[in-house]
Structure 1
Amino acid sequence: MTDTSWTLTAAEGELQIFTGVGGPAAKMGHRLTITFASWQAQVQWRGDAPVAARLVVDVDSLQVVRGEGGVTPLTGPEKGVVRSNALKSLDAKKFPQITFDAENISAKPGGYHLDGPVAIHGTTHPQSVDLAVEERDGMWVMSTELPVVQTQFGIKPYSLFMGTLKVADEVKLTFTARHPK
């Protein structure tokens, strides 16, 4: 059996976070789409089976793509303020990376099930990920979607107006990537 490895980056895919809003003034807030411009996934293969995977995300590469809802549209300067607030909430200087190490990978219909520790904001928890894999136009297309609860990782969701407007504690993370077959 031949051992090989893949390296995937933001050039081959997308890692996004979608936020909600909460609190009595929720209608005033924006549901955000955030992306990370710098991440790397390493996948180790033994023959035709993945045996390990590691994802490393550079927190400082966070970019605010858009904001939906709210009283007024989210402007460019406001995106900068949102980015700054998000980096403060994530304490990006102290915790510059988010990591996921898939220690157990098992095949399942339509993809793989991955289990291993995820570290965010200096806190590590076990994480299970169901990764869908399909062949499309000579490429392997991988995708997953999962909820992340900020307070489980010691992150205080950003809030305004004494908590009457706040980012929802649970955010949705999506990952997609393509690799030549």
Structure 2
Amino acid sequence: MIARATSGYLGADEILQSSHPAIAALAQELRGQHANDPDFARAAFEWVRDEVAHSFDVQDSRVTLTATEVLDQRVGLCYAKSHLLVALLRNQGIPAGLCYQRLGGPAEGYVVHGLVALHLDGDWHRQDPRGNKPGVDAQFSLGVERLAWPVDETRGELDYQVIYESPAAEVVDALRMADDILRCALPAELPVSSSRCQT
């Protein structure tokens, strides 16, 4: 995975609102129950995975983008849920960024899927807070990845090898233009190379 120095993955922006009081309150609540970083990271992951519904799973048309919108409305797509998890992790000093996959196939088309990468124990570890359902069993892991969907390269799927400090512009633009997330035109791919994200 391509990432800058970990210090670049600790800041806040208009979407990853890690310093917002509402984000800080939840992060501190979870930290109070889990003193060490791996336990806190697991708790934050499980909270976002389980307490925020995935928009398609529950057929909720509301559009959420920023971390605080997701926290307030408790619903969002994979991208939005990832924004909240990154904000929680950064609030407690754990470097975190955003990763993406291209999933699907030539027949049905492709869609970009959003993930989180966090830095613990000297390395980056991808996590998928999308939310589980029959056929999807994503789990927190600092070892073997337990993502919702491993890519199938024979179908043209791929893992983008970049850890983004801020959400991909293509994702942000798609969500900002949407008024019904269930009918939103989601990005089918991202640029393979992006100088703003690489070392």
Q: What is the TM-score when the length of structure 1 is the normalising length?
A: 0.25
Q: More helix by proportion, 1 or 2?
A: 2
Q: What is the TM-score when the length of structure 2 is the normalising length?
A: 0.23
